[in-house]
Amino acid sequence: MITIQRVQISEADTLLAFSKKTFYEFFEHLNEPANMEAYSSIAFTPQRMLSELSHPNSNFYFAMLDGEVAGYLKLNYADAQTEFKDANALEVERIYVSGEHHGKRIGKQLMDFAINIARSKQFEYIWLGVWEHNDNALGFYKRYGFQVFSSHPFLLGEDLQTDLLMRKSLI
C-alpha cells in the first residue's frame, strides 16, 4: 500500500528530478532526442517547478512506497487549469508512476485519490490530456470511464503532436 502526501516547496528538487526521470522513461524511445532535450530545457527547470508548486490552485502529491517516491500527481483547479479553467471541473495535469513500480496499482490509487478529491469538492467532471500515441495511458483512462471529447496540439521541441482531451462525468 502506498501513502499519498502533498508535495512541499522544500521538495521541489525531488519533484523536478522525478518528473524528468519519468518523462524520459516513457517518451524518450518514442521521440527524437533533440525534441526531448528542447522540451525538457523549458519544462524541467527549478524556476518552473517552484512556480508550479507555488500556484495556489495547483496541488502536487507524491505516491510513497517504502519511503521512496514511486509516482506523482498534479491537480489543477480554476485558473490553474491548462485549458478550460472551469470552476466545476478538476484537471489531472500529470499522473506518473516510475517504470520500476508499474504493475503495483499505484496509478490506480493516484487516480482514485484524484476522483475522490473531485467528488468531495462536488465538481461536475474531471478531465485530462493524453498523447494520442500513449496506448497504455489511453486504456487506463478508458477503464476509468474517461471519454475523448476534444484534442489540442502539443509541441515537443519542433514536433507538433496531438493530445486527446478526455473527461469523466461525476454527476
Q: What is the DSSP-derived secondary structure letter of residue 124? A: S
- The average pLDDT across 106-135 equals 97
Q: For 35-53, what is each residue's pLDDT tens digit?
A: 999 999 999 999 999 999 9
Given a contact cutoff of 8 angstroms between Cβ atoms, the answer to whether 89 and 125 are in contact is: yes
Pairing between β-strand 147-156 and β-strand 3-6 as defined by DSSP bridges: unpaired
Q: Which residues pair with 69 in a beta bridge?
A: 64
Q: Name 133's Cβ contacts closer than 8 Å, sequence gap at least 6.
A: 30, 161
Mean pLDDT over each residue of the chain, to the nearest integer: 96
Give the pLDDT confidence score for residue 111 in this predicted structure. Answer: 98
- The average pLDDT across 7-36 equals 96
Q: Name 86's Cβ contacts closer than 8 Å, sequence gap at least 6.
A: none
State the architecture of 3-169 in CATH terms.
3-Layer(aba) Sandwich (3.40)
Q: What percent of the chain has pLDDT over 90?
A: 97
Given a contact cutoff of 8 angstroms between Cβ atoms, the answer to whether 71 and 50 are in contact is: no
**What is the Cα 27 distance to its own chain's centre?**
14
Q: Is there a catalytic annotation at residue 141? A: yes
Domain boundaries, the chain: 3-169
Q: For 62-105, what is each residue's pLDDT tens digit?
A: 999 999 999 999 999 999 999 888 999 999 999 999 999 999 99
- The average pLDDT across 118-128 equals 97
C-alpha cell, 96: 506518473
**Quick check: 1 pLDDT over 90?**
no
Residue with grid cell 507538433, as numbered in its chain: 160
Q: Pick the catalytic residue: 39, 72, 125, 141?
A: 141
Q: How many residues does the chain have?
A: 171
Q: What is the DSSP string of 74-105?
A: EEEEGGGSSS---TTEEEEEEEEE-GGGTTSS
